[in-house]
Amino acid sequence: MIPPSFEYLNPSQISEAIAMLQKHGEEAKILAGGHSLIPAMRLRLSEPNYLIDINGIEGLDYIREDGGQIRIGALTRETELEESEVIQEKYPLLLDTVKMIADPSVRNLATVGGNLAHGDPGNDHPATMLALRAVVEVEGPNGSREICIDDFFPDFFTTALEPDEILTEIRIPSPPPGSGGAYLKIERKVGDYAAAAVACQLNIDSTGTIQDIGIGLTNVGSIPIRASSTEELLKGKNPNDNMIEEAGRLSAADSEPMDDLRGSAEYKRALVDELTQRAIKLSLQRAEGSR
Amino acid sequence: MSKYSVTIEINGSNFTREVDSRLLLVHFLREDLQMTGTHIGCDTSHCGACTVLMNGRSVKSCTLFTVQANGKSLKTIEGMENGGALHPLQEGFHEEHGLQCGFCTPGMIMRGAELLEKNPDPTEEEIRWGISGNLCRCTGAVNIVKAIQYAAEKMQKEAA
């Protein structure tokens, strides 16, 4: 299907793009990688009168580690994340995640910022960023503000962005030595949304005790879910197999899946249970390896 | 709605046209320029039949507006042969029987081109992941993998 007509706007500065958003409000959409927006337009799920293409704005595309954090420009392509040396060396959770997003040609255009700003609980980065305790920076007419990732997804396909704000950067605390992470996703085929997926990021001390842990769940609720009960169970513990089994059960209880073509709610809860256990074990292994 | 002027370099030549904002790149190639080597399969960015290279990267031209390609450099299947000589990938698909109906072939070849550019000596697994966004409903992909391996070998010999 051919998308509905729209006016194409092509700003070269963020301030210009924000002014366009102020002028056109809810009638405008930001075009980044376009791989969620254009299919939605073709299906008439989205019919913006104005498309603001931010691809011509310089300086939104970078991966920089400084001051104890990694900063990812919102327009960074998934492929750039996948090929980044610092991501390959220090962020196994992000590397796992990006490899499970769509397929290589889609990843050449799809952006990290778009994956978050679309607000789709089926997207993969939201759970990843919950596990990594990321903060996003957004820019609007009154300057920039930071939003904790836990506050970024208030409702189904809804974000904390105001209509005249643009997501500009994702900030993730650099993992200390003894950190590991993993993203495990069950999909029916390459390019599908997850039937369920689990993101885990943790840090252990020299005795193997978990100092910090973050767990995010993909596509098992109307928003991306933090598995808080699992995190509480494991923080400060040196987990044995029984405890990891309990962790799986708690994550499944924190999830709120619905029956759909990808499986029954019961099946998806079973996936969350099993994937949580595997993600924790793999993260622990990787944490041992990084110490 | 007003028209937008675009200039796009395609297979080494510049094309300047007035287009609608909503004109998808694949329709621009096939209908405005009559370059019908790029195919439309699923029309939903899943199958990869419409894959072309934009600034050297494989993209699905069914999920890109023509205005987004303004000022960019494209390569399509029509640009792969060189003075009548087949590109090693085209030769590989011929030699290894990497197609049956041929509908997915242009996309497979363009995707294979970026894959080999970045990774001249891929493993079978890397090839399979590399073409995971391109679907073939005939071959089961076995001979497509062999075709890309054939091209990889030939291109490495040529480079040596």
Residue A114 lies in a domain: yes
Domains held by chain A: number: 3
Same domain, A69 and A167: yes
Residue A142 lies in a domain: yes
For residues A160-183, average pLDDT: 97
Same domain, A128 and A154: yes
Looking up residue A220, the CATH number of its domain turns out to be: 3.30.390.50
Inter-residue contact B144 to B131 (CB < 8 Å):
yes
pLDDT digits (tens, 9 = 90+) for A25-43: 999 999 999 999 999 999 9
Q: Do A34 and B27 touch (CB under 8 A)?
A: no
Looking up residue A28, the CATH number of its domain turns out to be: 3.30.43.10
pLDDT score for A1: 83
CATH code of domain B88-159: 1.10.150.120
> Which residue among B57, B129, B134 sits closest to A108, beta carbon to beta carbon?
B57
pLDDT digits (tens, 9 = 90+) for B66-86: 999 999 999 999 999 999 999
* Closest Cα in chain A, distance from residue B60 (Å): 7
pLDDT score for B43: 85
Indicate the residue among A173, A203, A237 that finishes a domain.
A173
pTM score of the predicted model:
0.96
According to the CATH classification, is domain B4-79 in 1.10.357.10?
A: no
Mean pLDDT, chain A, whole residue set: 97
Residue A291 lies in a domain: no
Domain positions in chain B are: 4-79, 88-159
Closest to B93 in 3D by CA, of B131, B148, B142, B37: B148
* Closest Cα in chain A, distance from residue B13 (Å): 23
Same domain, A217 and A280: yes
Q: Do A105 and B20 touch (CB under 8 A)?
A: no
Contacts of A3 in chain B (CB under 8 A): 22, 24
CA distances from residue B95 to B65, B85, B143, B148, B151 in whole angstroms, order as listed: 36, 14, 10, 11, 10
Nearest residue on chain B to A37, alpha-carbon basis: B63
Looking at the DSSP assignment, which residues form a beta bridge with residue A135?
Answer: A148, A171
Q: What is the DSSP letter of B141?
A: T
Contacts of B68 in chain A (CB under 8 A): 31, 34, 53, 55
> Which residue among B21, B60, B115 sits closest to A8, beta carbon to beta carbon?
B21
For residues B36-65, average pLDDT: 96
Is ipTM over 0.90?
yes
Structural domain range at position A40: 7-54
pLDDT for residue A291 is more than 80: no
Indicate the residue among A141, A173, A205 that finishes a domain.
A173
Tell me, yes or no, if A49 comes closer than 8 A to chain B by beta carbon. no
Looking up residue A100, the CATH number of its domain turns out to be: 3.30.465.10
Same domain, A47 and A95: no
Indicate the residue among A173, A197, A220 that finishes a domain.
A173
Name the strands in the sheet holding A7-9, side by side, starting at the edge strand that comes first in the sequence: A7-9, A50-53, A28-31
